[in-house]
């Protein structure tokens, strides 16, 4: 927060030139139901650190988390500066129009569009963290066992409820056969073999290769892998915050890039390959909020990298010209017992 001196030119040699950081004012933070504590408190910490007041609105879908934050925040933070409101989704555009100094929204593209329109009427700056379908390309030249373990963890942890998890796999048919088998082994290690009846969206998309069991009353869906998927399938048209991973086959990296670029810009792009040229090509020829090679999710855990989307996946929290890239190599083989 200290003033930052800037370089002077000939006409300002004798002057004192510097930039001063000032708090924006009051920030309206709208949390999402996916990771409801994180998506509420992380933006709040940033707002407080920059000297702002804030009003926090947890997701209406996470009733118990919302009630907990509504009860706890006043016990620890100054109630003159920080409040928690329990507003419904349909009320949010009207609240935004009350004129804040910044709005931070996490949610769907449809709701984000409404928030952005409401904020535009008062020229309020907005940060949007929106859902997207994150592609993951798996090259023919990679360690299948390690790749399977890393993708399985990234897709299925937290019951698949993660903004940055890989949403679908793009790979050659021969790679799919090996990778599905390796992931089946991983899922047995991670979760065991207990399973029940399938969820309806699974029956409408491709073929269930692993898992597919569900107990609606218990809100349980087994870690599931789908094959024979095409881009018109229902699961490719919707954001799926669940433990389901579809496979689409491509002939090579060029076809994978073409497929990725036909879709809306994703929050993340992932790639697994031991060939640096393949990784570089994917970095240079795709656009996303972030990129990570030979692993998943890790780029979002690095506090030194900004986090956010691009296009329909949202707006960057920091510099709009920055796309965080996390290149991890080489892969280390980890046996699947």
Domains detected in the chain: 4-130 (3.40.605.10), 135-327 (3.40.309.10)
Q: To 10 degrees, what angle do helices 276-285 and 253-262 make?
A: 20
Q: Which of 81-90, 219-228, 319-328 has the lowest mean pLDDT?
A: 319-328
Backbone angles phi, psi at 198, to 5 degrees: -75, 150
Split at pLDDT 50, 70, 90, the class of 197 is: very low
Scan for tokens 């709009």, then name that residue. 320
Is residue 235 a contact partner of residue 167, using CB atoms and an 8 Å limit?
Answer: no
Q: Which residue has the higher pLDDT, 16 or 317?
A: 16
Distance from chain centroid for Cα 90: 24
Band (210; pLDDT cuts 50, 70, 90)? confident
The confidence band for 56, taking pLDDT boundaries of 50, 70 and 90, is: very high
pLDDT at 335 over 70: no
When pLDDT is averaged across residues 317-322 and rounded to a whole number, the result is 45
- Is residue 44 predicted with pLDDT exceeding 70? yes
* Confidence at residue 196, expressed as pLDDT on a 0 to 100 scale: 44
Please tell me the predicted confidence (pLDDT) of residue 320.
38
Q: Picking from 61-70, 92-101, 315-324, which range would have the lowest pLDDT averaged per residue?
A: 315-324
pLDDT mean across residues, the chain: 86
Percent share of the chain, pLDDT over 90: 55
Strand partners, 168: 135
- How far, in Å, are 30, 126, 246, 312 from residue 316 at the CA level? 16, 10, 28, 11
**CB-neighbour burial class of residue 177 (10 A; exposed 0-12, middle 13-18, buried 19+):** middle
- Among positive and negative, which fits the CA dihedral 91, 92, 95, 96? negative
- pTM: predicted TM-score of the whole model, two decimal places: 0.81
pLDDT band at 179 (very low <50, low <70, confident <90, very high): very high
Largest CA distance in the chain: 77
Whether residue 251 is predicted with pLDDT greater than 50 in this model: the reply is: yes
Kind of pairing between the strands at 18-19 and 26-30: unpaired
143-174 tens-digit pLDDT: 999 999 999 999 998 888 888 999 999 999 99
What is the reported pLDDT for 160? 85
Contacts of 134 (CB under 8 A, 6+ apart): 164, 165, 166, 167, 266, 267, 268, 269, 270, 288
Compute the CA torsion angle 271, 256, 320, 101 (nearest 10 deg): -100
User: What does the pLDDT read at residue 96?
Assistant: 94
For 4-43, write each residue's pLDDT tens digit.
998 988 888 888 899 988 899 999 999 999 889 999 999 9
**DSSP letter, residue 10:** G
């Amino acid at each position: 927060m200290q003033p930052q001196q800037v370089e002077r030119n000939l006409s300002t040699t004798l002057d004192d030139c510097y930039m001063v950081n000032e708090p924006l004012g009051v920030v309206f933070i709208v949390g999402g139901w996916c990771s409801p504590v994180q998506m509420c408190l992380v933006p709040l910490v940033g707002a407080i650190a920059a000297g702002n007041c804030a009003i926090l609105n947890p997701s209406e879908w996470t009733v118990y988390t919302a009630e907990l934050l509504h009860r706890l925040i006043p016990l620890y933070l100054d109630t003159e500066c920080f409040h928690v409101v329990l507003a419904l989704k349909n009320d949010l555009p009207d609240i935004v129009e009350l004129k804040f100094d910044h709005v931070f929204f996490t949610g769907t593209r449809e709701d984000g569009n409404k928030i952005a329109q409401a904020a535009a009427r008062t020229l309020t700056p907005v940060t949007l963290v929106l859902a997207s379908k994150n592609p993951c390309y798996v090259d023919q030249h990679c360690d299948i066992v390690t790749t399977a373990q890393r993708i399985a963890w990234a897709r299925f942890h937290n019951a698949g409820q993660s903004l940055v998890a890989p949403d679908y796999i793009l790979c050659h048919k021969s790679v799919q056969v090996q990778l599905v088998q390796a992931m089946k082994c991983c899922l047995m290690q991670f979760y065991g073999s207990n399973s029940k009846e399938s969820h309806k969206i699974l029956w409408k998309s491709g073929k269930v290769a692993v898992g597919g069991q569900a107990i609606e009353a218990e809100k349980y869906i087994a870690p599931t892998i789908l094959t024979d998927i095409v881009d018109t399938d229902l699961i490719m048209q919707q954001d799926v915050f669940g433990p389901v991973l579809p496979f689409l086959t491509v002939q090579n990296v060029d076809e994978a890039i073409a497929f990725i670029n036909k879709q809306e810009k994703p929050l993340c792009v992932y790639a697994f390959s031991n060939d640096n040229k393949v990784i570089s090509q994917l970095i240079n020829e795709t656009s996303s909020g972030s990129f990570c090679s030979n692993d998943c999710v890790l780029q979002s855990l690095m506090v030194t990298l900004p986090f956010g989307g691009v296009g329909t996946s949202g707006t960057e929290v920091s510099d709009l010209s920055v796309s965080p890239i996390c290149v991890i190599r080489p892969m280390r083989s980890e046996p699947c017992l």
